[in-house]
Amino acid sequence: MAQVEGLNARGTRWYVRIVIPDDLRGAYGKARVNLALGTSDRKEAVLRGTLTRAEWLADFEAKRASLKPTRIDAITPDLAAHLAAMVRVHVLGNDDRVRSDVKLLAEMVHIRHELRLRAANPLRIPQWEPTEVREDDLSGLTPEEAHELADLNAYLDGQAAIALAGQNLKAVMPLVEAQAARLGFAFDAKTPGVREALIACLRAFRTAHRELTLRDAGEVVETPVVPPRPSSAATTSADKPKTLRDVFDRWKQSGARPRSEDSVQAMDRALRQFEGQHPGETLASIKRELGLDYRAWLMENCRTPKTARDRLTGLKTLLKFAFQELEWTERHAWVGLDIEAKTTNKRRAIRDDEMAALFGSPLHTRYELPKAANAGRDAAYWVPLIGAFTGARLGEVCQLRTADVQTVDGIPALVITDEGDGQTVKTDAGHRTIPIHSELLRLGFLGYVEATQKAGHDSLWPALPLRKVRASDYFGRWFKEFREGIGMVEAGQPSFHYFRHSVRPLMRRAGVDARIRDLILGHETKGSVGDVVYDGVLLEELKPGVEAIRYPALALPVVSPHANR
């Protein structure tokens, strides 16, 4: 399933955190919202969170379209009818919101009452004290509120009738322009078909206000759902020249599984950099010569050759997608263009002296947990140990839940999966179950898991902050600071991923079969289809491979408060 980003609990109630994209934060006036899902059941929260997130994603696309509307050549009859339907839904929908907002209704009654008093006595000083808050006790509108709302709707209905009788199209023009912007296009008074469209919208506007007066009389008037926009109404978006931005919008929605947020953002950065140098460039105008020029510009202006290569590779990916998948171009003009970027930090196995330094601080000798928030309290102690004794990736360890620590066939094991909220694996082979190393058991890991479960936490590292779902981002920064704090500041000093490069040779030197090594590390296994697909491997066969991970220079004391539980 598409992950429900930011699913979180407050007490017994579940919420979903929606992060507003950078380009829309000005429009929404905030960076994120935390929405109540109205349930304490986690499964129900996942379902509601998924639906809520989908609604917000659709709203983001509509908002982007409204901020950058495309001027159309003509308004077709189908599009005019669609705009009229949107106008009617807009009026009726606003009325739905007013009738369900008791605070707004009470405020409206207070203000209209003051206006009447002011009209009767112009010298009166308005009394704009806040109205008394009235709780929604399901009794609906008070008689006074119903009267005021009916009075207001009757006035608006009269104004709409006057506008329709006089064919005052300017009266409805702002509303129609706003609805058009929601669809991503703009028009003006000279656009062919605009008069016919405005007349249809003015009629819908009058009809909707007449329906409000029927509601005030107790008649049932449902607010309709806006029908899908007719394909014949798209008079410009299908005909305008395609750009790399159009390709990007299609690319990020493609693939057998959703694109990761990181890959989408990286591609967007590469594209925005290109758009900054070549604004308005269409696919048809992106030729080989432009690629050569842009490659030279990247090499001169990017901080490192790797950054330049990554940005060029991203654009080449979009051009290839436009050519092979979308068939929007006759050829891939930049095929073969590349930038050489030598790897400056080749990963290696961690040396004995480095292991002794990494695990020789008070953190691992006295369980003195760091105060830094991005260290995640107990995570600072356990996450590096799990990396050292499993070879698992940092992201795989940081995303673990308490439910991912299981006993399978009598063997304590870690389950690495992408089934939980925010969990991912790099490849299909990344789904795996790894026996827990005896050293982790000796140090009290299962006691820590039990204590975390009893505290009611779903995450194995409840104090570890999340950044765009992936906990490893913040922890990776802390681990770098931790290494530098113990003197590992030079280039080539071991990062967390060095654990992974240490585990494989340790198993190999102990005579562990290559396929067992692959299964433990989550690499694609080699062999025939029968070997890979049908020849299942039991945990008891993996356990000797895990136990082969030994560090002679490492002698850790048992200091965890959760040991021997």
> 475-490 pLDDT, tens per residue?
888 888 888 888 876 6
Q: Euclidean distance between the first and final Cα of the chain, in Å?
A: 37
Q: Is the pLDDT of residue 129 over 90?
A: no
How big is the chain by its Cα radius of gyration, in Å? 31
Q: Which helix (H) or strand (E) holds 311?
A: helix 305-324
The token pair that represents 56 in the structure block: 């917000």
> 103-124 pLDDT, tens per residue?
667 766 666 666 666 666 666 5
The token pair that represents 71 in the structure block: 């001027």
**Rounded to 5 degrees, what angle do the CA atoms 546, 547, 553 make?**
115
β-pairing verdict for 185-186 and 70-71: parallel
pLDDT, average across residues 13-34: 77
pLDDT, average across residues 268-294: 90
* Of 489 and 276, more confident: 276
417 Cβ partners below 8 Å, 6+ apart?
Answer: 404, 423, 425, 431
Within 13 Å and on the Cβ side, how many CA atoms surround 65?
A: 19
> 355-384 pLDDT, tens per residue?
888 888 999 999 999 988 888 899 999 999
> Sheet of 7-10: strands edge to edge?
7-10, 13-19, 32-36
**Rounded to 5 degrees, what angle do the CA atoms 502, 508, 511 make?**
145
pLDDT, average across residues 138-148: 79
Supply the pLDDT for residue 384.
92
Q: How do the residues of the chain divide into helix, strand and coil, expressed in percent and rounded to 5?
A: 55, 5, 40
Q: What phi, psi does 467 have (nearest 5°)?
A: -130, 110
- 3-class SS of residue 13: strand
Supply the pLDDT for residue 231.
58
pLDDT, average across residues 270-287: 89
Q: Is the pLDDT of residue 517 over 80?
A: yes
| CATH value of 244-324 in 1.10.260, 3.40.50, 2.60.40, 1.10.150 | 1.10.150
**Nearest to residue 85, comparing CAs of 165, 182, 158, 190?**
182
Q: Where are the alpha helices (DSSP H) in 71-142?
A: 77-100, 102-120
Q: Is the pLDDT of residue 287 over 90?
A: yes
> 145-171 pLDDT, tens per residue?
888 888 888 988 999 999 999 999 998
Tell the burial category of 298 from Cβ atoms under 10 Å away from its Cβ (0-12, 13-18, 19+): buried
d(CA 432, CA 438): 19
What is the value of pTM for the model shown?
0.49
> 307-321 pLDDT, tens per residue?
899 999 999 999 999
536 Cβ partners below 8 Å, 6+ apart?
Answer: none
- Taking phi first (over 0 means left), then psi (-120 to 50 degrees means alpha), and beta for anything else, what does residue 180 get? alpha
CB 126 within 8 A of CB 112: no
CB 433 within 8 A of CB 426: no
Domain boundaries, the chain: 1-68, 72-233, 244-324, 352-547
CA dihedral sign, ordered 546, 548, 554, 557: positive
Supply the pLDDT for residue 425.
76
CB 98 within 8 A of CB 104: yes
d(CA 31, CA 292): 38
Supply the pLDDT for residue 104.
67
Residues in the chain: 565
CA dihedral sign, ordered 175, 178, 183, 187: positive
Q: Is the pLDDT of residue 233 over 60?
A: no
Q: What phi, psi does 34 have (nearest 5°)?
A: -115, 110
d(CA 534, CA 156): 72
> Sheet of 405-408: strands edge to edge?
405-408, 411-416, 432-435
CATH top-level class for 352-547?
mainly alpha
Within 13 Å and on the Cβ side, how many CA atoms surround 177?
A: 14
d(CA 506, CA 547): 10
CA distances from 152 to 84, 111, 158, 213 (A): 23, 12, 10, 10
Supply the pLDDT for residue 534.
35
CA dihedral sign, ordered 91, 97, 98, 99: positive
Strands (E), 124-217: 185-186
Supply the pLDDT for residue 235.
46
CB 12 within 8 A of CB 37: no
> 440-480 pLDDT, tens per residue?
999 999 999 999 999 999 999 999 887 665 667 888 888 88
Beta bridge partners of residue 15, listed in sequence order: 8, 36
Q: Is the pLDDT of residue 5 over 80?
A: no
The token pair that represents 324 in the structure block: 């092979």
Q: Is the pLDDT of residue 3 over 60?
A: no
d(CA 352, CA 358): 10
